[in-house]
Chains A and B, each alone.
Chain A
Amino acid sequence: MEEAKPPKPTIDPKPGPSVEMMMAVKERAWIDLLVIASAFLLLVPIISIHRVIDFMIFCIFALSFDLIYGYMGRLSFGHLLFLGTGAYSCGLFIKYIDKNPLLAILVGILVSCLLGIFVGLVVVRATGACFALMNLAFNFIGFFLVLSPLRDITKGEDGFGIHAQSFWFLNPANKTNMFLFALLCLLLVFFLLRRLTSSPYGILIRSIKEDETRVRFLGYNTYFYKWLTFTVAGTVAGLAGTLSALNYKFVNPNVMDVHGNVGVVFACLIGGAGHLYGAIAGGVAYMMISNYLAIHILRWEMFLGLSLLMIVFRFRKGIWGSILTLWDYWRRPKEMQPAG
């Protein structure tokens, strides 16, 4: 081995995938938003507008879950805590303080965000099963709090009705108006999360998913970024909760029942964890199954189990992941094959 000065190459002026991706995010964001909006608009004549609103709210929730599970690699069995917190905060605000729906949404988001900040401080220290179970424990605490100790204001198991007034462009009593508002929220959440996950921060949380210790070797305080991601996910879930409360005009403990967490995990898995489009595809697929299979089959949940087995053994990338794999396969030039 002789000492040799390595040649000093010039940098390829063509932008790499991250730069391309970020540019594409900026340039094509409106196309993404148009595709999503068109898809949900097309669903309206096929299924009822009420259900489409429900689908969109669930998709917002699935997007928030995908941030911590799909992108950061932390499986939570208690994410419904934040949806429920958003729903209860919004509902209680309308019931006891002010009937302004927009203000109630902001309160719901803020309370969920604060809860995410405090719960996140504790749970993001854990990983794996411990993380999942700590979230489940917090979800149980929230569920029993609204069920029993706070029943004087939450009305316990019976729940309570919400009668919000219309304010500015938001009228929860009008289904078309509610549909447009939920769609706007979904598009906004998608756009923000797309920007976030395509940024250096997105690369960082994907790295944490792969190997957190090695991210620390690169000088990052991973605890802070995990906590931040958890809080953002909780806040977005809280928004979904507020919309759910306004859409149903009713809140009861079912909104944060721990058993409901299965649905969002399933949605992310079937759609393709770690892809925003996957969360939306999975959200719609799950809602279709849970809404329509239940009409024909009494114990439709059995099919969720079978589908999960199929995903685990044959379909691990989910709907969107499989589409991307096929796309990559067709597009990859031969020179991109790895050298030996």
Chain B
Amino acid sequence: MLEIRNLDVAYGHAKVLHDVSFRVETGQMAFFIGRNGAGKTTLLKTIMGLLPPQNGSITYQGKEIAGSSPEELFLQGVRYVGQEKKVFGNLTVRENIQIAAYASHEPMDQALEKVTAIYPKLKSFLKMKAGQLSGGQRQILLVGRALVGNPKLLLIDEPTQGLAAVVIEEIGKILSGLKDQVSAVIVEQNLAMVKYLADRVYILKEGKMAGEIVEKSEISDTQRMEKYL
């Protein structure tokens, strides 16, 4: 599904990612963990076409996508959910879904059903401006909106950051419901979530790949991962 080889990314002269390689198979959820500044967000932004790689290749469904624009990647089924939980605050919740539905040519009823299926409470907020939603509700809306138009690969940056425990649990359930349906690359610091959902865990340290955990038994051992946070 997604294969990254020897990826180098830099902001000007400051190199942020050094020789990063990994792969995500169809239906798998790959988690990236690491300290702040390790380059996790940079990695997702590079895959999504927001940053140009210096070296290396990004192959998605057998095609090289390095240098593709975000709009081209969207049309190929790649969805990005940033860590800022930014919805279109002046549009209603319904319009936030509508704009994704039009982009992917999915009927609005179907798109609405898809989003409200993962979080039925959203139905009562459809007329409300999205800016009035709580942080957790915004995150759920963003994840739901990313599901419109049959995505194949989700790139989600810190989905539980700054959220209450009850909302984290809700998001965990939503992501769990997506397992085996879509592939995902998720940046996450919440190890309970990683343990619960991950098929593979990659550890980034100072822009370099510091480890890869594939075995489920090893993923359950959060102590090993903790030292990298």
Which residues of A does B touch, CB under 8 Å? Answer: 1, 3-9, 11-12, 16-18, 200, 203-204, 206-207, 209-211, 213-221, 335-336, 338-340
Contact = CB atoms under 8 A, between A and B. Distances in A.
B173 A338 contact: no
A214 B80 CA distance: 9
Q: Which of A1, A216, A339 has the most CB of B within 10 A?
A: A1
Interface string B91-116: 11011001110111000010011001
Given A11-B116, A16-B126, A16-B127, A214 B94 contact: no
A218 B99 contact: yes
Given A200-B99, A206-B90, A217-B79, 8 more contacts: A5-B177, A9-B113, A16-B92, A16-B94, A17-B94, A211-B88, A338-B128, A338-B137
A208 B82 CA distance: 17
Interface stretch (B3-11, B19-27, B70-78): B70-78
Interface of B: 48, 50, 69-71, 74-75, 79-80, 82, 86, 88-92, 94-95, 98-100, 102-104, 109, 112-113, 116-121, 123-128, 132-134, 137, 169, 172-174, 176-177, 192, 196
Contact of B177 (A6, A215, A217, A219): A6
23 contacts: A1-B173, A7-B117, A9-B113, A11-B123, A16-B94, A16-B126, A17-B94, A17-B95, A200-B102, A203-B91, A203-B98, A206-B90, A210-B88, A210-B90, A213-B70, A216-B70, A216-B71, A218-B99, A219-B70, A219-B71, A220-B71, A338-B125, A340-B134
Given A204-B99, A211-B88, A6 B117 contact: yes
A217 B80 contact: yes
A218 B123 contact: no
A214 B71 contact: no
A17 B126 CA distance: 8
A203 B99 CA distance: 7
Given A18-B98, A211-B86, A219-B74, A11 B173 contact: no
Contacts of B116: 9, 11
B192 to A, nearest CB: 8
Contacts of A207: 88, 91, 99
A24 B94 CA distance: 17
Nearest to A204: B99
B108 to A, nearest CB: 8
A217 B95 contact: no
Contact of A9 (B90, B123, B126): B123
B53 to A, nearest CB: 18
Q: Which 4 A-B pairs have the closest CB atoms?
A: A219-B74, A16-B94, A219-B103, A1-B172
A326 B124 CA distance: 23
B157 to A, nearest CB: 12
A12 B75 contact: no
Contacts of A213: 50, 70
A153 to B, nearest CB: 44
B128 A336 contact: yes
A11 B120 contact: no
A221 B109 CA distance: 24
B123 to A, nearest CB: 5
